[in-house]
């Protein structure tokens, strides 16, 4: 093979390599545009899926197994947030009632053991025993601060004022 034939062969191979390279670059560009377009579409779709306002009568927060962990809803027309334990039992409730907001902490039997409330603008704390009897009441009322202690039957044993 002469030098001229070799140069011609190299030029043909080079021209073929250029065509393949251009095709490869063009293909990569198309893939890039498709990928970027898909990403921006995913972003647009994700943003479109975010609502400014969601309205419902009840919401439930569930774990990966579908068990309800928390709920937000209406009880007798008043809003309530309930938090549940691993067994699905209600353990804490935050609500707004007729006279004001309250927070109740419940034991494993569902008994309210501690309650914090704002009744007609006056704060109070109530603690109950395992039988549900009120044992301690602490509050701020029109007369000033108050504290009451009760026996196991719910009878007042000491109070101030």
Of the two residues 44 and 123, the one the predictor is more confident about is: 123
Write the DSSP symbol of residue 143: T
The CA-atom distances, in angstroms, between 95 and each of 51, 71, 104 are 25, 12, 9
pTM, two decimal places: 0.66
Closest Cα to residue 150, out of 138, 18, 142? 138
Give the residue ranges of DSSP H helices in the chain.
3-48
pLDDT digits (tens, 9 = 90+) for 4-48: 555 455 455 544 545 554 544 444 445 555 555 555 555 555 566
Q: What is the dihedral of CA 70, 72, 73, 78, to 10 degrees?
A: 120
Residue 131 predicted with pLDDT over 60: yes
Q: To 5 degrees, how large is the angle CA 28–CA 19–CA 30?
A: 20
Give the range among 8-17, 49-58, 92-101 with minimum mean pLDDT: 8-17
d(CA 106, CA 94): 11
Closest Cα to residue 120, out of 138, 140, 137? 140
Closest Cα to residue 82, out of 96, 74, 92? 92
The CA-atom distances, in angstroms, between 161 and each of 6, 76, 122 are 113, 35, 16
| The predicted structure's pLDDT at residue 99 | 86
The full DSSP string for 124-140 is EEEEE-TTS-EEEEEEE
Confidence bin at 120 (pLDDT 50/70/90): confident
């Amino acid at each position: 093979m002469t030098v001229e034939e070799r140069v011609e062969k190299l030029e043909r191979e080079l021209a073929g390599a250029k065509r393949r390279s251009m095709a490869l670059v063009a293909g990569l560009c198309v893939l890039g545009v498709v990928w970027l377009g898909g990403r921006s579409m995913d972003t647009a779709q994700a943003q479109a899926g975010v609502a400014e306002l969601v309205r419902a009568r009840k919401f439930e927060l569930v774990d990966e197994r579908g068990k309800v962990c928390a709920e937000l809803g209406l009880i007798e027309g008043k809003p309530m947030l309930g938090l549940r334990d691993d067994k699905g039992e209600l353990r804490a409730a935050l609500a707004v009632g007729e006279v004001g907001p309250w927070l109740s902490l419940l034991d494993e039997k569902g008994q309210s053991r501690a309650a914090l409330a704002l009744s007609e603008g006056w704060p109070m704390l109530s603690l109950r025993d395992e039988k549900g009897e009120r044992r301690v009441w602490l509050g701020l009322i029109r007369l000033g601060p108050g504290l009451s202690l009760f026996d196991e039957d719910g009878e007042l044993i000491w109070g101030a004022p």
